[in-house]
């Protein structure tokens, strides 16, 4: 979190301003909080419409799996098939929106230095984790334990009353997965160098859960997920001349549907 810009008001006593290190261009009076998520770890927040998240790869090899649920009605959540079909794409970058199963824009990518983020590669689960990397449990390794993306996200969404049946396909930010003519997935190492970032504007009140565990298709033999920096700031809802709104007609409709939820 940032210190309050009003010198007469008290400062938070336990807040570290991580954002100065990885998002120094953000306006200090708009920053709400910032976190450093170590590789493999997970976290979640309930955040309002008009807040943006700066996601920064602090180390090469970072992967951040993100899922979204409406904070107003948790049965509404990010829908990967509808989002890809409506935008005629198999990857995400600036201009794309993450649509819900109700045809609303839950979040929009308003800035991106990477150019390709994976919506198809799903999550590393506990079985694949142990098969690939071996077993490093908490009892023996404490904070050095190996964590899977699936288990991390299940822990986070469970804090809001959601269960296994509610876990949706994530967006794997910083990872690139392409599909060849035979329908086979190919992971591209080195897609996001350290310092790469993407800005995600929230177009609805949402529950957002993240995991920095390795991508399920990451070919590296060792368990070495990169850390990710996250900073939240007030950006306001999508304006009439918003880049994402003009990116495709389908995006304009999805943003309009979200706007309709917040008519005064």
User: What is the 3-state secondary structure of 172-206?
Assistant: EECCCEEECCCCCEEECCCCCCCCCEEEEEECCCE
Give all strands (DSSP E) within 104-227, no chain letters: 105-112, 171-173, 177-179, 185-187, 197-202, 206-211
Q: Burial code of 22-50, b = ≥16 C-beta within 10 A, e = fewer?
A: bbeebeeeebbbbbbbebbbbbbbebebb
- Does residue 18 lie within any of the structural domains? no
Q: Are 107 and 257 in contact (CB under 8 A)?
A: no
- Does residue 8 lie within any of the structural domains? no
- pLDDT value of position 251: 98
- pLDDT value of position 1: 35
Closest CA to 223 of 152, 145, 171, 154: 145
CA distance 172 to 133: 20
CA distance 201 to 243: 12
- Does residue 16 lie within any of the structural domains? no
- pLDDT value of position 15: 76
- pLDDT value of position 141: 67
CB contact set of 247 (below 8 Å; sequence gap of 6+): 87, 95, 96, 97
- Does residue 6 lie within any of the structural domains? no
Number of structural domains the chain divides into: 1
CA distance 261 to 96: 20
Q: Digits of tens for pLDDT over the chain (264 positions)?
A: 333 434 443 455 667 899 999 999 999 999 999 999 999 999 999 999 999 999 999 999 999 999 999 999 999 999 999 999 999 999 999 999 999 999 999 999 999 999 999 999 999 999 999 999 998 776 666 777 899 999 999 999 999 999 999 999 999 999 999 999 998 999 999 999 999 999 999 999 999 999 999 999 999 989 999 999 999 999 999 999 999 999 999 999 999 999 999 997
- pLDDT value of position 136: 73
- Does residue 1 lie within any of the structural domains? no
- Does residue 47 lie within any of the structural domains? yes
- Does residue 121 lie within any of the structural domains? yes
Domain holding 216, by residue range, is 28-260
Closest CA to 68 of 57, 58, 82: 82
- Does residue 21 lie within any of the structural domains? no
């Amino acid at each position: 979190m940032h210190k309050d810009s009003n010198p007469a008001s008290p400062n938070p006593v336990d807040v570290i301003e991580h954002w100065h290190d990885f998002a120094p261009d953000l306006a200090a009076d708009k920053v709400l909080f910032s976190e450093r998520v170590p590789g493999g770890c997970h976290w979640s927040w309930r955040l309002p419409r008009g807040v943006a998240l700066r996601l920064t790869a602090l180390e090469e090899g970072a992967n951040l799996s993100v899922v979204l649920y409406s904070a107003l009605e948790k049965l509404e959540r990010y829908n990967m098939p509808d989002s890809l079909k409506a935008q005629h794409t198999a990857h995400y970058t600036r201009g794309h929106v993450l649509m819900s199963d109700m045809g609303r824009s839950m979040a929009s990518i308003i800035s991106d230095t990477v150019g390709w983020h994976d919506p198809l590669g799903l999550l590393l689960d506990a079985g694949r984790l142990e098969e690939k990397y071996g077993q490093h449990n908490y009892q023996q390794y404490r904070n050095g334990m190996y964590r899977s993306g699936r288990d991390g996200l299940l822990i986070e969404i469970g804090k809001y009353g959601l269960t296994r049946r509610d876990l949706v396909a994530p967006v794997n930010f910083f990872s690139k997965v392409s599909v060849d003519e035979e329908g086979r997935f190919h992971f591209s190492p080195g897609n996001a160098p350290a310092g790469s970032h993407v800005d995600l504007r929230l177009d609805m009140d949402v529950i957002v859960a993240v995991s920095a565990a390795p991508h399920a298709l990451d070919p590296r033999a060792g368990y070495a997920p990169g850390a990710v920096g996250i900073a939240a700031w007030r950006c306001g809802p999508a304006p009439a001349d918003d880049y994402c709104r003009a990116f495709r007609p389908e995006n304009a409709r999805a943003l309009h549907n979200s706007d309709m939820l917040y008519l005064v």
